[in-house]
Chain A
Amino acid sequence: MKKEPITMPVLSDTMESGHLIKWLKQPGDRVKKGDILAEAESDKAIMDVEAFSDGYLTGPLASPGTDIPTGTVIGYISDAPEHAGNETEQQPSIPATTSTSQNSTQPATHPSAAPPHEHARHNTRDIKASPYARGLAHELGVNLATVPPGPQGIIQAPQVVAAAMQGPQPNLDAGPGWRFKMLSSMRRAVADNMSATVNTPTFRISSDLRMDLLRQAAKKRGMSLTLLLAKALALTVTKHPLFNAVYTPNGLALRQQVNVGIAADVPGGLLTPVLHNAAERPVPELAEDWRILKNKLKRQRLAPEDYEGATIYLSNLGMFKVVKSFEAIVPLGAAAILSVGAQKDGAASGTLSCDHRVVYGADAARFLETLTALLNNPGDWS
């Protein structure tokens, strides 16, 4: 019998592991090329794992509810069916960190797969780590219990060094008892992206933005306020092209098109769907894009091209009446992000967080002047 391995696919550039949500086929099922075998969550979205050839799904299958490094074998497609019974009982030696982030909504389809569970790893003697990794952890003050294992489920030096690079860790033993909840892939991605911005020298500048006219325009046209804000932001960027640049050690990368990334609140995380070429394309077209993006967002089906490549960001918390103003963090890859608070008396606080390596205070002031002018006359451009 010929067995071809199925591997955890690489679903995005930044993806190092995928969260196997569930199997849609059972061992022994006949599958055709292109059939969806399983669902996996990358750092940003849920994606389908497809069959790449005709045959029969064959175990051992990786357990749902586990994080699995990309490229790791999660099951097989064979050219003949086999007794599905016992094979699935043996779990393959797949390095996996258990996670429960999906348990409540995604019950494991496998009766044989033990439900993943959280456990505290208080006693570091029980953790599989190389002698050198232990020594390093001791010297660098890294608690091995907080280090995710590397390939083959063993902590080695690279993982300890990576943990140490993340900065000092809280001393958990000093406080009350605790247990770990592993990060979901999305949560880990957000954490990594935010940690990546610590070296950005940032300044903030605020203004009251007139919103009543924009709100009227949005209502009249049946569009979302956020969409029109994004459009206004994009138009402002075209007048101040430095805001479309990004700092690199080799120089400023000046981008030729304005893509607005819009921070979106989703269950269990944060995503930034992108409106491409938002300055030049007409508002109705952008509105249609935004509708599609929101739909994908709801179904957790955002693809990398949907959330990557923003050149400027918008974060609108205006729907929370309690928010007066806030300061967002400039994501890596952009020079600025606009944070918009709740409206009061027809105006909302807008705060522009900027990378000072790219733009300066007066640039930001002029930027806000242009934005204010656009918001005062939405009829001209929306």
Chain B
Amino acid sequence: MSEETPVWKALNLAMDAEMSDDDSVFTLGEDVGLYGGSYRVTQDLYARYGEWRVRDTPISEGSFTGLAVGAAMVGMRPVVEIMTVNFALLALDAIINMAAKIPFMSGGQFPMPLVVRMPGGVAKQLAAQHSQRLEHTLMNVPGLRIAVPATPQDAWWQLRQAIRSDEPIVFLEHELLYFSKGTLDTKLPPPPMHRATVRRPGNDLTIISYSHMAKLSLKAAERLSAEGMDIEVIDLRSLRPIDWDSCAASVEKTHHLLVVEEDCGFAGAGAEIVATLTERCFHFLDAPAQRLAGLDMPTPYNGTLETASIPTTASIADAARQMLLPGEIS
């Protein structure tokens, strides 16, 4: 298919395909109907499927996410769009207390085929309340699944797999990736939903990352390749569950682990990844596993400070160099 599909288009196509395949799929959220979604993910769906299946909602995340939970319990396949992850805080009761618990507490009598999509991450000067990453909060909820696609190909298949799944899935989309383009081949078979993927094979050091940071890590790896460092980049694609086998195999090969995350480092995804892989691969590590993460602070509005508060291609490359050539960089 198209060589240069943006991520938003891949998501849009996935929505369209699932809605056309299955009448029980519907979407709801703020501005998903007439406006076509803040990032165009539901563009044209309103015209195609009508206002019952593409529902504009009031600004009331708690109630419309709760509505979707109820719909999922009785056999629908709702796809909630929350305008940004920052607003999802209002919907956490529905997500954490209801969606994540109901299948467990009902002894499996109620499935939960719910998808909650939410754009997030540090975009461009949206200030502290609109630049959050909530991985650290959502990862700590047993019963939830979390998908973090970084490419159009992954966005396409993972959203379709999420909609078909009977488990509650939070779908984290990065605001800076919507207009990033890549190859989309809808004929390619999908990898398993939670399988990590090796974006670039290498022998000297493993970088594990996800979403926008996986893209930057890949750029850093290409830069380091010119300096003779052979970096393997793993894109997790899923934060819950995490594909530990793929990660461990890589660390056992390169003996060096660097985790790159945009979210604050404290008690975040990187902490979990480093802890688990240190438990699993301790005897294979030739240097302490490292994290490169967002600073432990609200995101500054000032553009320079904002950039300094999260990893960049340059800082990722520096961190990798520091691990491979200690002492040569001051």
- Which residues of A are interface residues toward B (Cβ below 8 A)? 5, 69, 71-72, 95, 130-135, 151-152, 156-157
Q: Is the CB of B286 within 8 A of A133?
A: yes
Q: Name, among A5, A130, A133, A156, the residue most crowded by chain B CB atoms within 10 Å (CB to CB).
A: A130
Out of B255, B283, B284, B326, which one reaches A152, CB within 8 Å?
B326
Pairs A–B under 8 Å by Cβ, sample size 13: A5-B330, A71-B327, A71-B328, A72-B327, A130-B285, A130-B286, A130-B287, A131-B285, A132-B284, A134-B283, A152-B327, A156-B287, A157-B255
Q: Is the CB of B326 within 8 A of A131?
A: no
List the 3 shortest-distance A-B pairs measured between CB atoms, nearest first: A132-B286, A151-B327, A130-B286
A7 to B277, CA, bound (A): 37
B135-172 residues at the A interface, CB under 8 angstroms = none
**C-beta contact mask, B272-309 vs A, less than 8 Å → 1, else 0?**
00000000001111110000000000000000000000
Count A/B pairs, Cβ under 8 Å. 32
B208-240 residues at the A interface, CB under 8 angstroms = none
Q: Is the CB of A131 within 8 A of B327?
A: no
| Chain B binding surface, main DSSP class | loop
CB-CB nearest in chain B for A156: B286
A95 to B287, CA, bound (A): 16
Q: Is the CB of B287 within 8 A of A69?
A: no
A156 to B285, CA, bound (A): 9
Which range holds the interface residue count of chain B?
A: 10 to 19
Q: Is the CB of B283 within 8 A of A132?
A: yes
A130 to B326, CA, bound (A): 14
A95 to B285, CA, bound (A): 21
Q: Is the CB of B286 within 8 A of A157?
A: yes
Out of B283, B325, B327, B328, which one reaches A95, CB within 8 Å?
B327
Name 12 extra pairs, CB < 8 A, besides A69-B327, A132-B283.
A71-B327, A71-B328, A72-B327, A95-B327, A130-B285, A130-B286, A131-B282, A132-B255, A132-B284, A134-B283, A151-B325, A156-B287
* Closest beta carbon of chain A to B10's beta carbon, Å: 40
A87 to B63, CA, bound (A): 64
A318 to B325, CA, bound (A): 49
A95 to B330, CA, bound (A): 15
Contacts of B327 in A (CB 8 A): 69, 71-72, 95, 151-152
Q: Is the CB of A135 within 8 A of B326?
A: no
Out of A69, A71, A131, A156, which one reaches B283, CB within 8 Å?
A131
Contacts of A152 in B (CB 8 A): 326-327
A157 to B255, CA, bound (A): 9
* Closest beta carbon of chain A to B261's beta carbon, Å: 24
A50 to B327, CA, bound (A): 22
Q: Is the CB of B326 within 8 A of A151?
A: yes
A131 to B287, CA, bound (A): 8
Out of B284, B325, B328, B330, which one reaches A131, CB within 8 Å?
B284
Contacts of A72 in B (CB 8 A): 327
Q: Is the CB of B287 within 8 A of A135?
A: no
* Closest beta carbon of chain B to A115's beta carbon, Å: 25
Out of B283, B325, B328, which one reaches A135, CB within 8 Å?
B283
Contacts of A71 in B (CB 8 A): 327-328
A157 to B283, CA, bound (A): 11
* Closest beta carbon of chain B to A192's beta carbon, Å: 22
Contacts of A151 in B (CB 8 A): 325-327
A71 to B328, CA, bound (A): 8
A254 to B51, CA, bound (A): 87
* Closest beta carbon of chain A to B195's beta carbon, Å: 26
* Closest beta carbon of chain B to A258's beta carbon, Å: 38
Contacts of B328 in A (CB 8 A): 71
B303-330 residues at the A interface, CB under 8 angstroms = 325-328, 330
A69 to B285, CA, bound (A): 24
A72 to B330, CA, bound (A): 10
Contacts of A132 in B (CB 8 A): 255, 283-286
* Closest beta carbon of chain A to B254's beta carbon, Å: 10
**C-beta contact mask, B166-181 vs A, less than 8 Å → 1, else 0?**
0000000000000000
Contacts of B326 in A (CB 8 A): 151-152
* Closest beta carbon of chain A to B265's beta carbon, Å: 22
B253-272 residues at the A interface, CB under 8 angstroms = 255
A5 to B328, CA, bound (A): 13
A212 to B14, CA, bound (A): 98
* Closest beta carbon of chain A to B267's beta carbon, Å: 24
Contacts of B287 in A (CB 8 A): 130, 156
CB-CB nearest in chain B for A130: B286
A131 to B283, CA, bound (A): 5
Out of A69, A135, A156, which one reaches B284, CB within 8 Å?
A135
Q: Name, among A71, A72, A131, A135, the residue most crowded by chain B CB atoms within 10 Å (CB to CB).
A: A131
A156 to B326, CA, bound (A): 11
A351 to B330, CA, bound (A): 53
* Closest beta carbon of chain B to A277's beta carbon, Å: 38
A69 to B325, CA, bound (A): 13
Contacts of A134 in B (CB 8 A): 283
A131 to B282, CA, bound (A): 6
Contacts of A131 in B (CB 8 A): 282-286
CB-CB nearest in chain B for A95: B327
A71 to B327, CA, bound (A): 9
A77 to B91, CA, bound (A): 60
Contacts of A95 in B (CB 8 A): 327
Q: Name, among A69, A135, A152, the residue most crowded by chain B CB atoms within 10 Å (CB to CB).
A: A135
A72 to B282, CA, bound (A): 29
Contacts of B255 in A (CB 8 A): 132, 157
